[in-house]
Structure 1
Amino acid sequence: MEAEKRTLYLMGTVIQLWVDHRQSAYLLDQAEEKLIDFEKRFSANDARSDLMAINQQSGLKPVRVSRDLFDLIAIGKEQSVLADSFLNIAIGPLIQEWRVGFKDANFPTESRIKKLLPLINPENIKLDTEKQWVFLEKKGMALDLGALAKGYFADKIIAFFKSQQAKAGFIDLGGNVLTFGEAQNHEDGNWRIGIQHPFLPRGNYATTISVNNQSVVTSGIYERTFNWQGESYHHIFDSQTGYPIQSELASLTIVSDESLTGEIWTTRLFGKEPAEIIRILRGIKGIEGLVITTDGQMAHTEGLTSEG
C-alpha cells in the first residue's frame, strides 16, 4: 500500500486529504470530484447551486432536490428548531447582509436587522420527505448550510475511503478534521490534532489533542471577522438579536465519532457561557469538548486527551 496526500483549494478554505490504499491516487481523484460536486450543489454563495435554487424560490414554490441535500436540510431544520439551539440554517439573510469574511462586509442598520429577523425563523422551512421538496414560506428567506456542510462532506469522504477498503485516511476541511485507521508517524497509532490558538495567527496551537477514528471540529470567533468603527465583529450570529453572539467563549472544539455531530454541537452550544458548555457536554454520551475563553483560559471534559 502507498499512502498519498493531496491539498485542494475549495469552499473558501484549504482542504487536506490523505489516504493509505494500493490505489491512493485514484481514491484521491474520486474524493476531489465528490468535493467539487458538493461545493457546486450545496453552496450559499453560488447563484447556480441547488441550494440557491431553493432560496430563489422562497415564498413562491417548493423545489425538489437530491436526497443528500434534502437529508442535510432536514437534519439542519431539526437541530435549528430546538428551543436552546444557536444553530439556525435559516440564517441566510443575516449572513448575506453582514457579509463577514467577504470584501464587501457591512454593518447593517438596526432597522434593517429588524426587517430581517422575521425571515430567519426555521419553523418556516417546509419539507416533503416523499417528494424531496423544500419550500421556504416567506419571500426573502434563505438557507445557509455553512454550519453543517463541511462535517457532512467529511463523513461522506471518509465513508468512501472505507468502502474502498483503505487502510487509513484523513481529511481536514479548514479545521474540520476526521480520521480513521492508524496514524503512521505515531507509535500508538493515534492522530495528533492541533487546536488553533484563537489569539495568534493560523498555525499556532493552543493545545494538541490525541484521537483515533474520531472527528475534531472547532468553531471560533477568530475565523472570520471585520472591523467597523473600532469594533471587531465575528461571523457567528445570534438569531434573536441579529448581531454576532456575545459571550466569554473564544472557541469551542468537539470530539465525536462523526464530523457532522461535531458541527451540530459546536454551533448549538456556541452562544452559551464556557462553564455551562462543559457542564452540558459532560452529560452527552460519545462526545468530548474543549473551550477557550476570551481571556485565554482553557477547560475540557474529562475524557479528552490534551497535550501541551
Structure 2
Amino acid sequence: MGTQINLSIVHPEAEKLLEQADHMLADYEARFSANDLKSDLMAVNQQAGLNPVHVDPDLYELIQIGKEYSLSSNLALNITIGPLIKLWKIGFTGAHVPEKTEIKERLKLLDPAAIEMDADKGTVYLTKKGMEIDLGALAKGYFADQLKTFFQKEGVHSGLVDLGGNVLTIGENQKHEDGYWRVGIQKPSLVRGSLAGAILVKDKSVVTSGIYERSLKTNGKEYHHIFDSKTGYPIENELASITIVSDNSIDGELWTTMAFALSPDAIIHHVDNIPGIEALVITKDNAIKMTRGLVPYFILL
C-alpha cells in the first residue's frame, strides 16, 4: 500500500490476531491494488470497453461506494482518475509533467457514470476502453474499518490501526490515565516526524492527507499528487493538509479527498455543520484552523 503499517492491540492472543490481520491486509492489497497487474481490480480495468468482470462482494461494495460519492461530490472525489494518475506518475518512477494534449485525452476517461454495476451478478463493467478505477482515495479507510471490526469481534478492547496517514483507535489507550490516544499531525514539510500538534481521541478515526506526501519538482515548480479531475492538474489552493476525525475511517478518507478542492475557511465552515465529523487544516503558510468541536482535543506542539 505504499506506506509503513503499524498494528497494536491489547489481547491475551495478540500475536495470533496480529498475524491474521497481516494476512487480511496482504489479501486486500493483492485484490484491490491499482498497481498490480494480477489484482482483481486490475482485471476490471483490463476489461474496460470489453466485458463485465465478476468481483468479490467486498470489492464490489467499495467500488459502489466510490462511484456513489464520485457522482454526488461533483467529481471532487473520482475513482476513475486512474488514467490521469498513471499519466503523471507522481510518486512513481518516470514522474513528469504531461503534454496538454495528453491530459485532455485522459480527461475523457474520467467518468464514474460509465461504471456499470450488476448487483445480481456481482459484476463491474467500465464501458470506455482505457478507463481505470483507482481506489487509493478510500481503500485504506475501508481496510482500517474491517480490521477494527475483526479485532473487536475477537474481544480486543484497546488497540491502534495505523495505515500511514490513516489512524483508527479502538477503545481507550491504557498507557494514559485519561484514556485518550494522542495522534500526531504532521507539519507540511518534508521532514517526517516533525509534528504541528496532536489530537486526543477515543474510538475514533484520524485521517490526514497532504500535498507533502508525494510530489514532483521540475523547472522550478512543484506538483503534488492530489489531482483535480476536471482540469487534469494538481489542485491549486492554500491548503497544505487536511485531517478528518470521524467514527469510521472510510468517512475520513472520503472527506479528506472531497474537501481538498475547497479553501481552508470553506472546509471548516462546511464540516462544522456535519454531525460526527471534525476537521483540522494547515495552510501553506502554516496557519492551523479547526472546527469548533475539535478545539478542546487539540494540543499545539
Q: Bin the TM-score by the shorter chain.
A: over 0.9
What residue number does 2:298 align with?
306
Question: Mean Cα displacement is larger for which, 237-246 or 76-85?
Answer: 76-85
- Kindly report which structure 2 residues correspond to 1:117-136, keeping only aligned pairs within 5 A, or say none: 117-136=107-126
CA distance in 2, matches of 1:85, 1:33: 33
Residue identity matched to 1:81: L
Per-residue Cα deviation, 1:80-132 (whole angstroms, up to 9, x for no partner): 01254411000000000111001211211000001110101111111111111
CA distance in 2, matches of 1:19, 1:52: 33
Residue identity matched to 1:155: D
Of 55, 60, 66, 1:65 maps to: 55
Residue identity matched to 2:279: G
Q: 2:198 matched to 1:208?
A: yes
What residue number does 2:24 align with?
34
CA distance in 1, matches of 2:157, 2:298: 26
Per-residue Cα deviation, 1:254-289 (whole angstroms, up to 9, x for no partner): 000000000000001101101000010011000100
Per-residue Cα deviation, 1:26-53 (whole angstroms, up to 9, x for no partner): 0000000000000000000000000000
CA distance in 1, matches of 2:75, 2:265: 17
The RMSD of aligned alpha carbons is: 0.8
- Kindly report which structure 2 residues correspond to 1:182-201, keeping only aligned pairs within 5 A, or say none: 182-201=172-191
The runs of at least 4 aligned residues of structure 1 exceeding 2 Å deviation read: none
Three-state SS of the structure 1 residue aligned to 2:109 is: helix
CA contact (8 A) 2:73 2:258 kept: no
Residue identity matched to 1:205: L
CA distance in 1, matches of 2:291, 2:279: 6
Three-state SS of the structure 2 residue aligned to 1:207 is: strand
CA distance in 2, matches of 1:234, 1:169: 33
CA distance in 2, matches of 1:181, 1:226: 39
What residue number does 1:256 align with?
246
Residue identity matched to 1:26: K
In the alignment of these two chains, the number of paired residues is 298
CA distance in 1, matches of 2:51, 2:23: 31
The share of aligned pairs that are identical, in percent, is 55
Three-state SS of the structure 2 residue aligned to 1:165 is: coil
Question: Mean Cα displacement is larger for which, 125-134 or 52-61?
Answer: 125-134
What residue number does 2:221 align with?
231
What residue number does 2:35 align with?
45
Question: Mean Cα displacement is larger for which, 226-235 or 66-75?
Answer: 226-235
Per-residue Cα deviation, 1:115-155 (whole angstroms, up to 9, x for no partner): 11010111111111111110001000000000000000000
CA distance in 2, matches of 1:85, 1:162: 34
CA distance in 2, matches of 1:195, 1:78: 30
What residue number does 1:116 align with?
106
CA distance in 2, matches of 1:299, 1:31: 35
Residue identity matched to 2:29: E
Three-state SS of the structure 1 residue aligned to 2:141 is: helix
CA contact (8 A) 1:150 1:173 kept: yes
What residue number does 2:166 align with?
176
Question: Mean Cα displacement is larger for which, 211-220 or 97-106?
Answer: 97-106
Q: Which runs of 5+ in 2 are unaligned?
A: none
- Kindly report which structure 2 residues correspond to 1:64-143, keeping only aligned pairs within 5 A, or say none: 64-143=54-133
CA distance in 2, matches of 1:297, 1:84: 28
What residue number does 2:233 align with?
243
CA contact (8 A) 2:190 2:212 kept: no
Residue identity matched to 2:131: M
What residue number does 1:8 align with?
none
Residue identity matched to 2:8: W
Question: Mean Cα displacement is larger for which, 175-184 or 142-151?
Answer: 175-184
CA contact (8 A) 1:85 1:269 kept: no
Residue identity matched to 2:299: E
Structure 1 position 302, deviation (Å): 0.9
Instruction: Give the structure-1-normalised TM-score.
Output: 0.95
Structure 1 position 21, deviation (Å): 0.7
Per-residue Cα deviation, 1:2-36 (whole angstroms, up to 9, x for no partner): xxxxxxxxx11100000111100000000000000
Three-state SS of the structure 1 residue aligned to 2:282 is: strand
Of 272, 282, 291, 2:281 maps to: 291
Three-state SS of the structure 2 residue aligned to 1:237 is: coil
Three-state SS of the structure 2 residue aligned to 1:52 is: helix
